[in-house]
Chain A
Amino acid sequence: MSTEDSAFELTGRLVRPYVITGGREIPSEREFSVTTLITAADDAPDRWVISPESRSVLELCMGGYLSVVEIAGYLGLPLGIVRGLLAELAEKGMILTRAPVPSAERVPRQLLEDVLHGLRARFA
């Protein structure tokens, strides 16, 4: 069994995610990680009718990138719901996504050096 599935099933009773997400399964962390970056596609097709919630996600993502978790925070929606809305928007080609660094056994040394350099530059 999957605890994740059970949890998302239960959200249905509390906040009706399937209504908000248009009946879609709520995607897991693997599909839209909390730190996956999202922006509205410049050439987003206009022919789709989307829910008001999806519209607010799209409008929030105009003008640059925001992470999935920021979108949830600004809109005041639980993460699971936001993942569902993003799945709908991605399917319709209305958003671009940029996945975070792929998880590897070992974090590349260069990446850690860049993080350290950035922190020192900011706070030193």
Chain B
Amino acid sequence: MASVLDSPDRGPVHLGRSVRTTVKILVVGHFGVGKTTFVGNISEIEPLRTEELITEASTGVDDLAGTPDKTTTTVALDFGRLTLSEELVLYLFGTPGQQRFQQLWEDLSIGALGALLLVDPERLGESFPVLDLVEQYGLPCAVGVNRFDGSPSYAADEVREALNLPDGVPVVPCDVRDQASSANTLITFVEYLLSRTD
């Protein structure tokens, strides 16, 4: 298996000098839910991955204070880019949902428009810790229900109820392998964000 830090095949695609504003949306969810596929299918650049070293805080930050053998872990971060106009660029960050990656969330949530939560209807329970992080960092969110082969179709209301989502949070079917479906989910999310400013 190739290292996650292998250089991409193609070179960088620079943004023009007219670009003024960058915004970001986090694509969040539990391990294996399809974050990388979602970002990869929708990005205009070859999806990239970088690494950040973080302190393991699985047992609580305070427990680690003063401990000589603090552990650090490497967290891989997938991201993609969408140029939306000559002046505006959107970055999408596939963000792992484990509680121990809180430090990463703290960094990434600053200035983020919100978090798009991908869920697997067969493993809804695994989405709770991710939802906790979304709430903890005050990120507005929408839910994309990824359809896996052979998985039963779930009504949006069932997912909403199972995840105890607040009223108004959009729940959208989302096939992460399909660009149009992924884009539609993203558009629905931004429409929702806009509706909240009314």
The answer to whether the Cβ of A98 comes within 8 Å of any Cβ in the partner chain is yes
A contact residues around B51 at 8 Å (CB): 72, 78-79
* CB proximity to B under 8 Å, residues A1-46: 1, 3-4, 6-8, 10-11, 14-15, 29-30, 33-37, 39
The answer to whether the Cβ of B37 comes within 8 Å of any Cβ in the partner chain is no
B contact residues around A116 at 8 Å (CB): 187, 190-191, 194
Interface size class of B (residues with CB under 8 A): 35 or more
B contact residues around A52 at 8 Å (CB): none
User: How many positions in chain A have a CB within 8 Å of any CB in the partner chain?
Assistant: 56
The segment from B53-61, B141-149, B155-163, B165-173 that touches chain A is B53-61
A contact residues around B48 at 8 Å (CB): 69-70, 73-74
Q: Is the pair B79, A7 in contact by a Cβ cutoff of 8 Å?
A: no
Known A-B contacts A34-B93, A80-B52; A119 and B61 likewise in contact (beta carbons under 8 Å):
no
Q: List the count of A-B residue pairs having beta carbons below 8 Å apart.
A: 174
Return the chain B residue nearest A71 by Cβ: B12
* CB proximity to A under 8 Å, residues B1-55: 5-8, 11-12, 14-17, 19-24, 45, 48-55
Give CA–CA (A20, B107) in the complex, Å: 23
Q: Mark A58-87, 1 if CB is under 8 A from B, else 0.
A: 001001111101101111111110000000
**Chain B residues in the interface with A (C-beta under 8 A):** 5-8, 11-12, 14-17, 19-24, 45, 48-55, 57, 61, 64-65, 70, 72, 74, 77, 79, 81-85, 88-91, 93, 103, 106-108, 110-111, 113, 179-180, 183-184, 186-187, 190-191, 193-194, 197
**Chain A residues in the interface with B (C-beta under 8 A):** 1, 3-4, 6-8, 10-11, 14-15, 29-30, 33-37, 39, 60, 63-67, 69-70, 72-80, 98, 100-103, 106-107, 109, 111-123
Additional A-B contacts beyond A37-B22, A114-B84, A118-B88 (8; CB < 8 A): A3-B64, A6-B70, A14-B72, A64-B15, A65-B19, A70-B45, A73-B50, A101-B21
A-B pairs, 10 with minimum CB distance: A118-B84, A64-B14, A73-B48, A123-B183, A103-B111, A29-B107, A76-B5, A72-B50, A35-B22, A65-B15
